[in-house]
Structure 1
Amino acid sequence: MGLTGCSAASGDDSPARQESPLAAEASLRPPRAVDSLLSLFDQTASVVEGEVTDVRSEYSPRTGPWTVVTLGNVRAHLGAAPRELRLKQAGGVLPDGRQLVVSHVPRFVRGARYVVFLRNTGWSLSPVLDEHAFRVESVAGREVLVGAEGGLVAGLGSAGVRQTAPVFETVDLMGARPALRAEAQARGTPEGMEREAFLSLLQNHLRARGLSVTGAFREEPVTTASSMSVPVTPAAGASVVPGAVPLQPERDIPPGQP
């Protein structure tokens, strides 16, 4: 089973590329749960918008499979970012064709535009902050943001980014663009904020509180990270995908702890 736009290597492509040193663990602040708006901002290096120009798999016997998402034409709404970003996330195609699936690591659709919160902390599984990768979709002629579970971004609250009930299906393992859910088509979609209005709200909220996002986004995981190092224990009630190996989320794992 393979992802759209991905190719599984039969081994290391290049020792220099696959076995390059990862970020030094001692200098990185560990991630913590995003359970409030302040904890969200505190762990955000930048909020960027870009188009997914490439999705591919990398594999190394040392670190396991990773999916590398390239964002092009990147614009930083908060913080700073280069014009192109490489987001390396745990999970992807194994040499035998199966996929290693990591829960709470966002899936990206090739060709779609995203607004992404990037971590300023160390990380083991994804540099995206707690699934805060929002796909830009047009709904009833309005540009809105769609979360990992298919809900629309509706604003900010004390607990962080508020989202509606699911409107779109979730992104599948093939990376296809999700359709509107049948119930949303039948009953009408709940009201979500327009993309520009949400980005303005973020900026205004920080300005009003005298806050700013700080730190730097790091492209590589911590030194001892491995996508194969997490116990393979499916979450309770999770649906089983044939050929997929589920792992536990970043938020449950201190950096570098197998």
Structure 2
Amino acid sequence: MEETLSLQEIAKILKKRLWLVIFFTFISIGISAGISFYALTPIYQAQTQILVNQNSSSEGVYSWQTTETDLRLINTYNVIITSPVILTPVIDALNLSLTPAQLTQQIFISNENDSKVVTISVEDSNPSMAVEISNKVAEVFKEQIPQLMSVDNISILSAAKLSENPTPVKPNKMLNIAIGGIIGLMLGAGLSFLLELLDMTIKSEQDVEDYLGLPVIGIVDLIKEEKQNRFSFNPRKARRS
């Protein structure tokens, strides 16, 4: 019974200050939309795929030994790709005003389980630059790995290409607007409950029992002004009569 009453009170409070909830919701949505569309810089992504695959004259040996070796080397390759020994030549070749540590923050390496395909993803505010960095990292890595690991098992499977109409991967505008709406809704509801909690004025007989702990014996209803005029004494009419 108490739980049902509590839910009823919550609904009553929200209905009472529904304008406040709606106001904060729309304000938050507007702010989120403004930031997403005009303040945040669009980020584009380019991907280059490389294949870790050793050449072997014996198919049987390739199946059991070289494949296992390539898969084990992939974790090492993932670290080498984002190391200064690879990124420094990339920075010099593209004349980037970045340090290897800063460029590392833009590069993401991934590969599926038991797959010898490694994906190099690069994010940048310039879609053309993202493509150039992604391809250059793959090229430099392919050139340097024979000297670093004494093995030549890297080939570029798919180079990154610049599309005619690049689509940014960040920010997710619709998601930001939805999150902004939820935050505004929560702020409006929270403020409604806070105002209701701070409002100690007595408005009903139930408030008397809740706040003062006194039983309500009777209620005096409001007397309308029309009734007061009807029963008021008029001395002029009394004299005429």
Larger Cα-atom Rg: 2
What is the TM-score normalised by the length of structure 2? 0.18
Q: Which has the higher contact order (CA 8 A, sep 6+)?
A: 2
What is the TM-score normalised by the length of structure 1? 0.17
| Larger proportion of strand | 1
| Larger proportion of helix | 2
